[in-house]
Amino acid sequence: MPSLNSQWLQSLLDPFFMMKSAIYHYVRILILEIFEGNVPLSAAQWQKIRDSAFSFFWLQYSGEREKGKKIAPSKNTPSASAALIPQLLSQATGTVLEIGPGSGTCMQFLQGSQITQIYGAEPCIGLHRQLRSEASRYKMQDRYHVLNASANVGSLTHELIRKEEITSFEAGDTLFDTIICVRVLCSVPDPKETVSGLYGLLRPGGQMLICEHVSNPWRTSKGSIISRIFQGLYMLLGWAYFMGDCRLDQDTERILLGTADEDKGWGNIDLEVEEQWSLFPCLHGSLTKKR
């Protein structure tokens, strides 16, 4: 772990500024809804407000990040992973599934020539327009299909059938050569079940490409107990509620490797964790399914 340097201190504060921006959008949407006479009473109405506020936040955050501006003071937001993503995503080939593509900021790193079809499973409808516009910007509109689906097998296959991309689906069918998970497994409701389902959809020899912020490994020599405490603190302050269910304290590596134990197993595992001292340690690399 580096000494108490400004980069590390700033990284502890980043989530505060991100949350401030997310809460601003939440309150703004809530007030607008109430003024329009849509006082939220049911859980579904509150969820709609959360989804809408998160899409405004994410569009602003990812847009400003792309322009080099920052909502948070340091570069050690989850966007520290930005340096790792281009090389990682250049490995995507064949029929690709991108889980939670958000506003499509990763699209620029895909090598269109080696991709046959790509499906972006994005449950936040407020992000679909931007996603389609990015597909056109990177000349993939003929191959990029936006799915109004979440990361579970039922939702994905239902949407693929609805869009006539597949005619039917039976348990055991494999559909994808590459599955991309960038900054998304922290947000899925049941990550273990999700990873197991995605593993099942991967063709033998296919790859899962991973770039995820994870729980600080504070028990190891490179980890930081203070970063881990701050992760817990932000979670207590409502990070997940305002940030689309994102969990700062999830051990995604254990989930990914555990899935392999229960199923047929990974043929090759090439995962590393960068910035283990940080509030956003970054798990990145690939997992290849046995042939």
Ligand X SMILES: C[S@@+](CC[C@H](N)C(=O)[O-])C[C@H]1O[C@@H](n2cnc3c(N)ncnc32)[C@H](O)[C@@H]1O
Site for ligand X, rule CB under 6 A: 58, 62, 99-102, 105-106, 121-124, 127, 150-151, 182-184, 187-188, 244
Output the six-digit token pair for 204. 């033998």
d(CA 153, CA 158): 8
* Residue 226 phi, psi dihedral angles, 5° rounding: -70, -45
CB of 286 to ligand X, least distance (A): 16
Rank residues 64 and 220 by Cβ distance to ligand X and give the closer one. Answer: 64
CB of 226 to ligand X, least distance (A): 24
Pair 263, 199: CB distance under 8 Å: yes
Rank residues 247 and 289 by Cβ distance to ligand X and give the closer one. Answer: 247
CB of 82 to ligand X, least distance (A): 9
d(CA 197, CA 190): 11
Rank residues 150 and 196 by Cβ distance to ligand X and give the closer one. Answer: 150
Rank residues 218 and 285 by Cβ distance to ligand X and give the closer one. Answer: 285
What are the start-end ranges of the E strands in the chain? 94-99, 115-121, 144-147, 176-182, 202-213, 266-274, 282-289
d(CA 103, CA 130): 5
d(CA 273, CA 27): 35
Output the six-digit token pair for 138. 């990177």
CB of 51 to ligand X, least distance (A): 8
CB of 284 to ligand X, least distance (A): 12
Rank residues 124 and 208 by Cβ distance to ligand X and give the closer one. Answer: 124
d(CA 136, CA 122): 17
Rank residues 12 and 88 by Cβ distance to ligand X and give the closer one. Answer: 88
